[in-house]
Amino acid sequence: MIWTRPLRPTRFTASFSIWMGEGNGADGMTFGMFEAAAELPGATGGALGAFLEPGLAIEFDTYQNIDIEEFVLELDGSPNHIGIDDTGTGTSFATSDDVPDLSCACWLPVEASFDCGRFEVSVDGRPPLVHAIDSFEPFDAVLAFTASTGGSTDVHAVGDVAIEVDESACP
């Protein structure tokens, strides 16, 4: 799901539900903001449909990857985690495995916010993952949900989406 109208998001709040499972397990999904001038997200497998394209994303990862296309990433800390990522470089700024089973084949509510480089995300009421990106500079972006399975067959869905975007300048 991609909003094709470019924005310059400096702040947003989002609530939505994610649903993953009913397959043989992989790979996950993201919600992020991707550079409007770049190609629309779409990388496969462990790239979660988002990596390789410049942007920032919240990842919901259900598979432990080591090597994603030309990126050689550190081994995911857990096959079931959330993260805050630079999708252009493949860098995870922060991760947490204090989440329910993300591939439970059930709807899980997500609350996310972004404020001038500071991400906060919580799944199913668990303590939030919080990380501030000190070097954040606003950029023209499209908001998108992405997902991929590589050679696996999990279903990925999103529902109950509510997003508010603020494009006012950061202090």
Strands (E), the chain: 11-21, 28-35, 55-61, 67-68, 71-72, 81-86, 91-96, 107-115, 118-123, 129-132, 141-148, 155-166
Which of 39-48, 123-132, 152-161 ranks highest by mean pLDDT? 123-132
Q: Does the pLDDT value for residue 70 go beyond 60?
A: no
- Looking at residue 41, its pLDDT comes to 55
The pLDDT of residue 67 = 54
| Token digits of residue 104 | 């439970």
User: Across all residues in the chain, what is the average pLDDT?
Assistant: 84
Q: How far apart are CA 84 and CA 113, in angstroms?
A: 12
Domain 11-166 carries which CATH code? 2.60.120.200
Cβ neighbors of 124 (< 8 A, separation 6 or more) are 99, 100, 108, 109
**Global confidence as pTM:** 0.87
